[in-house]
Each structure stands twice: as C-alpha cells, then as structure tokens.
Amino acid sequence: MPERIRIAPSVLSADFARLGEQVLEAVEGGANSIHLDMMDGHFVPNLTFGPPIIKALRQQTDAHFDVHMMVENPERYIPALAEARVDLVTVHVEAARPLHRVVHQIKEAGILAGVALNPATPVAAVEEVLPELDLVLVMSVNPGFGGQSFIESSVEKIAQVRGMLDERGLKAELQVDGGIGPDTAERVVRAGARMLVAGSAVFGSPHGIKGAIDVIRRNGERGLISH
C-alpha cells in the first residue's frame, strides 16, 4: 500500500451556525480527522469553543477528533475532553507546564497526546518528551486566527522534526497547521509532514468541502512521490 497523507479540516473556518452539518460534510468528504481549535482569549487573542461544544459534535459522528488546545493551563480541560471521547489532544509547549506531566495526564485519560510548537519556538523544546508523543504539530502561522499566510521557514522546521523522529525510529504523527492549502501541501509533505490541517482552504473553497479535501490531498501526495 503506498503511503497516504491525512487531511484534518479545521472547523475554525466553518459556519458556526451550521457546525454539526459542516463537520458531517467534511467526514463524508473524506476527512481523516476533524481538527477542533480551542482558544481561550489568553494564550491567543481569540475565543472559540470548549468541551461542551466538542461533546455536542461527538453526538453527531464517531470521526477522529483532534483537539488543538490554544489555552493557558490546558490540564484543566483534559477530564472534560476525555468525557467527550476525543481521540487526540495537542497542547502547546509554550502553555503546558510542566510539559512532561501534562503529556502523561493526557495519556492517562486514554487520549493520544500531541505537542505543538509556535513558529518562534525551537524544535529543541520538544526533544525530551518526543518518545512519549503520538503527534508533533509544527505551527506554520502564529496561532489564533484562520486565513493567515504560511510562514516559509516552517518547511525547514518540519524537516528538522522529521529528522529527529526518523533518527530515533519514532512513529509520532507529524502535523502542520496554518496556511495549508493546494499551494503549500506539496512542500510540507516533501519536508516530512503527513497530517495536514486546513481551515480556510477547506471551508472557504469555491469547490466545496469535498472538492477542497481532494485537491489538498492530491497535491500533498505529490510530495511523497518525489522523495
């Protein structure tokens, strides 16, 4: 079986008045995961939603739920997210203190654990916990808003994380988030990313949700062939 990449539409750019419907459309359109951006107005200058809305969405689908916590004190919300039966929780290395303890708390709650790096945070910040992780998220924009431009230096950072994982034989997922769409998918995959988060490129696409997922996947997979 040839290697595939995974597409995780971020509902941040969905129509919040029709959130359930849009999530189902993404799932039916081939999304491998639903990326849920929790923001608290402190860690990032924007507010979105928390566990109650995620729990309500969970009633609609058994799809893989990937929660990206852009919040201070992320440990507070882990029990409620476990109750909502989310699959994966990603915390920011800049907000989770101590990082090792928070990662263990997530795993003890029966949830896969991810750690995210802001654009200005060096990959060394995640090195010590790498063997414990199910996912590393390289942010390719400063978190807080959808629709921002991809930061080019992220390509090199993805390659660094890919190198660290491969060198140690670690199987953690390598996810990229921010400014991902048909034009950036190929080069982030070539650098080593395998799970692509896309918000505005999916929910704002003139080709519809499924059409957008298909083209991002197709372009991304070109990055696999040219390895």
> How do strand 135-139 and strand 173-177 relate by DSSP bridges?
parallel
Between CA 17 and CA 167, with CA 181 as vertex, the angle to 5 degrees is: 120
Q: How far apart are CA 215 and CA 221, in angstroms?
A: 10
Question: What mask of x and - would describe binding to ligand DX5 in positions 61 to 100, judged by CB under 6 A?
Answer: -------x--------------------------------
Q: Of 37, 40, 66, 134, which is the active-site residue?
A: 37
Which of positions 164-193 make contact with ligand DX5 (CB under 6 A)?
Answer: 177-180
Annotated catalytic residue 37? yes
Q: Give me the least distance between CB of 28 and ligand DX5, in Å please.
A: 20
Question: What mask of x and - would describe binding to ligand DX5 in positions 93 to 122, judged by CB under 6 A?
Answer: ------------------------------
10 binds ligand DX5 per the rule CB under 6 A: yes
Complex with Zn ion: residue 25 or 177, whichever CB lies closer: 177
177 binds Zn ion per the rule CB under 5 A: yes
Neighbour tally for 198: CB within 10 Å: 30
66 binds Zn ion per the rule CB under 5 A: no
Q: How far apart are CA 72 and CA 194, in angstroms?
A: 27
Between CA 117 and CA 126, with CA 120 as vertex, the angle to 5 degrees is: 35
Q: Reply yes or no: is the peptide bond before residue 9 cis, omega within 30 of 0.
A: no
Neighbour tally for 84: CB within 10 Å: 22
40 binds Zn ion per the rule CB under 5 A: no
Complex with ligand DX5: residue 20 or 144, whichever CB lies closer: 144
Helix (H) or strand (E) holding 78: helix 78-83
Contact set with ligand DX5 (CB under 6 A): 10, 12-13, 35, 37, 68, 141, 143-144, 146-148, 177-180, 197-201
Contact set with Zn ion (CB under 5 A): 37, 68, 177
